């Protein structure tokens, strides 16, 4: 005849093992749910970051990149982050440039005046030094034409980098300094086929075909992963350390609108043709 005590002990052992197996199953299920939630949160976070950063345009503040987690191989050449010792040598100042009360506004995009066969170089003087950029009129003729036109009108002189995000981009070209200003006109997209890399110069926008005067320079690896939704029209050839020095003034903790911790000026932009 079975011993009731031993039978109870056997049943208790089996119940214990069943409880352990169920606890392990629930723990594994919970870990999977946490991993999914983390991935989703990261995706949403990057989308919000791109939306906040590029939501500019004439009288607009809309989402520009709801799929900012899409990766791109980028152009064949790659530029890496500048050594911190080099950045430490870049000197910045808070000197405010003269006001530009005669900054013009326009009702329509400028006529095509550039020659895509020529070489155009932009020299951007900033609070932290000069950035030299080779423009790309063959890949983005309308974008280069607009940028050259505005620069020659001294449109950018005295504006600020109103949005600065760590390991991402620095953005400027807004006469209002809020992310919602523009030159009074918009023009079509000329999107790249091979993404971005550190030092890429591209247009900010608030959706398809809403390019105006706001631009950004990719300063970090996160910026190099942006989807090809922004007209890339130039590449920094000298002064990438200046651009990345400007990026170091990203607010900590990050400002929701990307406002830097100090005012960063675009003193002037000049164009040379070759």
Confidence class of residue 31 from pLDDT cuts 50, 70 and 90? low
d(CA 246, CA 154): 22
Listed in sequence order, the residues at least 6 apart from 13 whose beta carbon sits closer than 8 Å to its beta carbon are none
pLDDT, tens digit, for every residue of 112-156? 999 999 999 999 999 999 999 999 999 999 999 999 999 999 999
pLDDT value at residue 156:
98
62, pLDDT greater than 80: no
d(CA 208, CA 189): 7
Confidence class of residue 80 from pLDDT cuts 50, 70 and 90? low
pLDDT, tens digit, for every residue of 223-265? 999 999 999 999 999 999 999 999 999 999 999 999 999 999 9
pLDDT, tens digit, for every residue of 162-215? 999 999 999 999 999 999 999 999 999 999 999 999 999 999 999 999 999 999
Listed in sequence order, the residues at least 6 apart from 8 whose beta carbon sits closer than 8 Å to its beta carbon are none
**CATH class label, 41-273:** mainly beta
pLDDT value at residue 32:
54
CA atoms within 13 A on the CB side of 230: 41
pLDDT value at residue 84:
87
Does the global pTM surpass 0.85? no
Domain layout of the chain by residue ranges: 41-273
Q: Mean pLDDT of all residues in the chain?
A: 83
Which one, of 127, 134, 189, lies nearest residue 164 by Cα?
A: 127
DSSP-H helix ranges across 55-129? 84-89
């Amino acid at each position: 005849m079975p011993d009731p005590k031993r039978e109870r002990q056997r049943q208790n052992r089996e119940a214990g093992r069943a409880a352990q197996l169920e606890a392990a199953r629930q723990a594994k299920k919970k870990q999977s749910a946490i991993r999914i939630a983390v991935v989703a949160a990261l995706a949403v976070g990057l989308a919000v970051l791109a939306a906040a950063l590029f939501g500019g345009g004439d009288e607009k503040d809309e989402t520009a990149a709801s799929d900012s987690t899409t990766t791109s191989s980028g152009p064949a050449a790659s530029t890496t982050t500048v050594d911190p010792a080099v950045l430490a040598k870049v000197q910045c100042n808070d000197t405010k440039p003269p006001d530009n009360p005669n900054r013009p506004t326009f009702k329509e995009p400028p006529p095509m005046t550039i020659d895509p066969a020529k070489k155009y170089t932009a020299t951007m003087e900033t609070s932290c030094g000069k950035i030299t950029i080779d423009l790309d009129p063959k890949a983005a003729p309308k974008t280069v034409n607009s940028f050259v036109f505005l620069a020659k009108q001294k449109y950018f002189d005295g504006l600020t980098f109103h949005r600065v995000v760590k390991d991402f981009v620095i953005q400027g070209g807004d006469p209002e300094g809020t992310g919602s200003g523009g030159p009074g006109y918009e023009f079509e997209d000329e999107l790249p086929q091979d993404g971005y890399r550190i030092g890429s110069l591209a247009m900010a926008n608030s959706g398809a075909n809403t390019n105006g005067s706001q631009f950004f320079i990719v300063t970090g690896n996160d910026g190099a992963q942006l989807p090809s939704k922004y007209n890339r029209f130039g590449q920094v050839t000298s002064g990438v350390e200046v651009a990345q020095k400007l990026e170091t003034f990203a607010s900590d903790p990050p400002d929701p609108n990307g406002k830097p911790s100090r005012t960063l000026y675009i003193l002037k932009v000049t164009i040379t043709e070759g």
